[in-house]
Amino acid sequence: MPENKIQTVMESLNQALHAMMETDRRVVVIGEDILDPYGGAFKISRGLSARFPERVLSTPISEAAIVGLATGMAMRGFRPIVEIMFGDFLALAADQIINHATKFEWMYNHQVQVPLVVRTPMGGRRGYGPTHSQSLEKHFLGVPGLWVVAPSFLGSPGALLQKATLGLDAPVLFVENKSCYSQSLVDSAPGLVANVYDDDGVQFPTHYLHHENVTASDGLIFCHGGMVQFCLDSMIKLRECEGLFMDIIVFSQLSPVPVRTLRRILEEWQ
């Protein structure tokens, strides 16, 4: 796939999938309706089956079976990426994620690893109705052995997906809010300064946005994924209408909670 300037979250994720499948034959993509020309409900998998037909597997409608199959492949040395068409359907694969994929390494005394990524569109505001518009990631936070990652339009969502797929030997739930797909990628916003914290052993970065030339803010807003734009809009409105200067902390790693990074930001904020 030719290298193009990445403009949106969707393009970043799609190009990351192409790059990984081109460079690492262990990467396979599994899910419903992901074959071209359809390329998945939100087109994140577009073009993959045309280029890598033997490593893009279209499945029956059974989220539990999809995640179970991918878990077995991960244990045998593959790097599977599962696409769950809508995040609401994670409930159908909850047992495979919570009680199997995340537990096998311990159950088999660290003789196996499960480098599995389950990526899924999440959230509402797209008109898909009550069973296709929820945000269920909170039900998976704190599950032992499971990483939960939520990209936004800050930084590079594709880089997060590559780190989740190739940089970890553990299951990752990769939550993509639908409202982010068409958003343009930025590092910050006008009038704001962005600090990125990705050290101290943290796998996925935290963004800290604050006003330029303001030494003391009035408060902090914590958010992730699809809420980032709403929080930025609120941040600007509070400044313009109320004279309040709020800072924003944007998490991409929701679980395990990046406690050391959070403490570091709070110490600097105080």
Residue 79 has pLDDT above 90, yes or no: yes
| Catalytic site positions | 132
Express as a percent the part of the chain with pLDDT over 90: 80
Mean pLDDT of 230-255: 93
CA dihedral 169, 171, 172, 173 (to 10 degrees): 170
CB 73, CB 117: distance < 8 Å: no
- Give the residue with greater pLDDT, 165 vs 213: 165
* Residue where the block lists tokens 């179970």: 68
Categorize the per-residue pLDDT at 1 as very low, low, confident or very high, splitting at 50, 70 and 90: very low
d(CA 149, CA 163): 11
Assess whether pLDDT exceeds 80 at residue 259.
yes
- For residue 63, CA distances in Å to 141, 145, 146, 197 come to 19, 20, 18, 35
Q: Which of 1-5, 42-46, 181-185 has the lowest mean pLDDT?
A: 1-5
Asked whether residue 199 carries a pLDDT value surpassing 60, the answer given is yes
Q: Do 247 and 219 touch, CB atoms closer than 8 A?
A: yes
HSE-up (13 A, CA, CB side) for residue 56: 24
Q: Is residue 51 over pLDDT 90?
A: yes
What confidence score (pLDDT) does residue 203 get? 81
Which has the higher per-residue pLDDT, 17 or 235?
Answer: 17
Give residue-wise pLDDT tens across range 82-133: 999 999 999 999 999 999 999 999 999 999 999 999 999 999 777 778 889 9
- Averaged pLDDT for residues 161-186: 96
The overall average pLDDT reported for the chain is: 93
Question: Nearest-CA neighbor of 176 among 157, 198, 196, 204?
Answer: 157
* pTM of model > 0.85: yes
Mean pLDDT score, 197-208: 81
Would you say how long the chain is, in residues?
270
What is the pLDDT confidence band of residue 201, given thresholds at 50, 70 and 90? low
**pLDDT band at residue 202, thresholds of 50, 70 and 90?**
low
Residue type, 261: T
- Give per-residue pLDDT as tens, 3-13: 456 699 999 99
